[in-house]
Amino acid sequence: MKQPKHTVTLGCLAVGVLVSSLLAPARAAEAEAVVTLNTPRTFPEIRTREQWQLRAQEIRQQVLVSCGLWPLPAKTTLNARVFGRIERDGYSVEKVYFETYPGFYLAGNLYRPLGQGRGLFPGILNPHGHWSNGRMADTKEGSVAARCISFARQGMVAFAYDMVGYNDTQFPDSAPNRPFYETHRQFGTNRTDQLWNISLMGLQTWNSIRALDLLASLPDVDQKRLACTGASGGGTQTFMLGAIEDRLAALAPAVMVSHSMQGGCSCENAPGLRVQYSNMEIAAAAAPCPQILVAATGDWTKTTMELEGPAIEQIYRLFGASDRLRHVIFDYGHNYNQTSREAVYEWFGQWLLQHPNPGALKEAAYAKEPDADLRVFPDGKLPVNALSREEFNESLKGMYREQWRKLVPRNQAGAARFREVMQPAWNHTLQVGWPGMEVETKLRVLRQDSDWSSSEMVIHRAGEEETLTAICFSPRVRSAGRIKNLVVLASADDAPAYLGTDGEPLGLAAGLLAHAQAVMVLQTYSSREPTDQFANFFTTYNRTKLQSRVRDLVTAGAAGRALVFGGRRDGKVVLHGSGRAGLWALLAAPTVDAVVANANALDVASDEVLLAPDFFCPGLRNIGTFEGAAMLAAPNPVLLYNTGGVFPVASIQAAYKVARAGRRLRVLPEPASEDTVINWVSRL
């Protein structure tokens, strides 16, 4: 297993060195602040194209995992219907609906050139923002029809489609006569939805992918000249699609790429999405795809010319593609008005039409069709197989269960496929940042007795202020001997203590030391317990308690390995989680050499159980709840005790059987005694 880089900074051992007692709470956690959608973000320092390409890959994976699209769902038949053609001067308008998922219908309007031959024409996706009338919006500040008509007249096929809950894209049981925005925000609102990464943003991102599929399938559209543009919430959809879709040849997100406000609607906030990344980085992930950022002086994009634009431009320079990024700003409020649209016409004219004078592409007078003539389901009646909101939600859970069932390995090829899919899913779901974590450690020797020595450790991840603390005990070994194992002991608040009042090892820690095992007792974690993990898009911008604790265990293991074994490859790091920390340890299993974990006799059949503050993690169901991480640990030894006969282990056993490591997995329905743990570790 590839190990992370470690920077181990050893503090001076002389008397008087200023290292705070590790038995006190970490000061950094006291000052920890919750990140929100309005917290200003900075662009990371990127020096090489290769460095950015690796980060861009991580960004793409994070978007897909956060949106519940990893692995990508099967692209079922669209069953598209295009009808109701209206012909106007230089363009036509048609009604469209199709199934993005079986039983869910996305609707919109297709604008095509007239009198310019049969094509092939560029195809432009047009997601709308949070205008009160959705894709029917036609005001001075923003008109979807204006840009679609203009695109068609210029020789491009434009598709305008709904956000969920707007106009024709509804559920059959949606309340009638309700403002579209209220209906829009009704999907994905159950707390348990987060466990499956079911979200409004995830559904809309998939809708955009399938809308691109539809556009690419049209006989008059050039599949090599596809583009997307939208403003506000439509701008978010635009750069999100740009981050994950290689088929796009140009992008134009308007008034949304900001270092500050990241998006205020649930359709712009998926769990885990911006814990590490901001809209600036997500937009930059499309490089070197031609992209224009349109900003306004009267909203949160007002610093585009000084901050966001130059930050993203540095990424395009790494590709030798500075000419493929343009950022402009106009003196208006939040908008996608004619001035802003004409900047996009010029950009698309250059990159999609190869127009000899793209600046001449201006917006001519137009007349939007009446809403009734653009509506796909004017009577509100959807196709008979359309699913209700609850039925559709359950169908998504069924899809995820089936994905998991198919991923459980039954042979070597299946094991390789499982790791290919689940390793990134595990990493991005738990937000651990593995591999690649840089760990710095300050060390102070406490005692050097005849049988063991102890040191206190302050550990932090490079670039972060928060620290975690531990006491490390090393047994005395003969001059020719070596320490074989380091056992990291992790506890939750209700777990037994391993230290006496004078810092001496107690209980399991003492027993392990007596059997020549090095021991690290984790004392304080790097973050305090969140006050409310369900408020104000908390999980989009912050790690949950479980995610933070798992990451700390990964960090502790890395620091302990560097301290005890240095460059040695024969030493093993064993992670032991007692009490409710047992399941944190199990989730960290892929990063250590062996795990001993208390399963807490937890029955995870009900989603409600996983809403407990110390077990809650968005997307946990999609990585097999607690089983997936243990499966990724195969063939490394795992002792899983206190399953109570209800904690699921069948998939873990299947993975170890395929790995021909069945004897390395020990499952006990009852709690394990200290002697059981000591004997198991001693035989590693």
Q: What pTM was estimated for this model as a whole?
A: 0.93
Cβ–Cβ < 8 Å for 545, 530 = yes
Give the model's confidence band at 240: pLDDT under 50 very low, under 70 low, under 90 confident, else very high.
Answer: very high
What is the average pLDDT across 396-412?
A: 97
pLDDT of residue 567: 75
Cβ–Cβ < 8 Å for 486, 430 = no
427-682 matches 74-399 in CATH topology: yes
pLDDT of residue 574: 98
SS3 for 105? strand
Count of beta carbons in the 10 Å neighbourhood of residue 34? 13
pLDDT of residue 176: 86
Instruction: Give me the half-sphere count of Cα atoms (radius 13 Å) on the Cβ side of residue 560.
Output: 36
Alpha helices in 542-608 (DSSP H): 545-565, 581-587
The overall average pLDDT reported for the chain is: 92
For the ranges 66-75, 223-232, 235-244, 447-456, which has the lowest average pLDDT? 447-456
What is the average pLDDT across 5-9?
A: 42
Q: Is the pLDDT of residue 4 over 50?
A: no
CATH number belonging to domain 427-682: 3.40.50.1820
Look up residue 350 and give its amino acid. Q
Q: Is the pLDDT of residue 2 over 70?
A: no
Q: How far is CA 147 from CA 137, 249, 365, in A?
A: 11, 18, 11
Q: In the numeric block, which tokens belong to residue 398?
A: 């069924």
pLDDT of residue 29: 39
Report d(CA 473, CA 503) in Å as an integer: 10
Q: In the numeric block, which tokens belong to residue 31?
A: 């000052």
Helices first, then strands: H and E counts in the chain? 19, 18
pLDDT of residue 483: 87
For tokens 């933070």, name the residue.
548
Q: Is the pLDDT of residue 541 over 60?
A: yes
SS3 for 129? coil
Q: Is the pLDDT of residue 8 over 50?
A: no
- CA–chain centroid gap for 301, Å, is 24
Q: Which of 593, 403, 409 is nearest to 485 (CA)?
A: 593
CATH class, 74-399 region: alpha beta
Cβ–Cβ < 8 Å for 269, 540 = yes
pLDDT of residue 632: 98
For tokens 């040695």, name the residue.
568
pLDDT of residue 10: 32
407-459: per-residue pLDDT in tens? 999 999 999 999 999 999 999 999 998 877 888 899 899 888 778 899 999 99
For the ranges 78-92, 400-414, 562-576, which has the lowest average pLDDT? 562-576
User: In terms of pLDDT, which residue wins out, 316 or 566?
Assistant: 316
What is the average pLDDT across 13-35?
A: 41
Where are the chain's structural domains?
74-399, 427-682
pLDDT of residue 27: 37
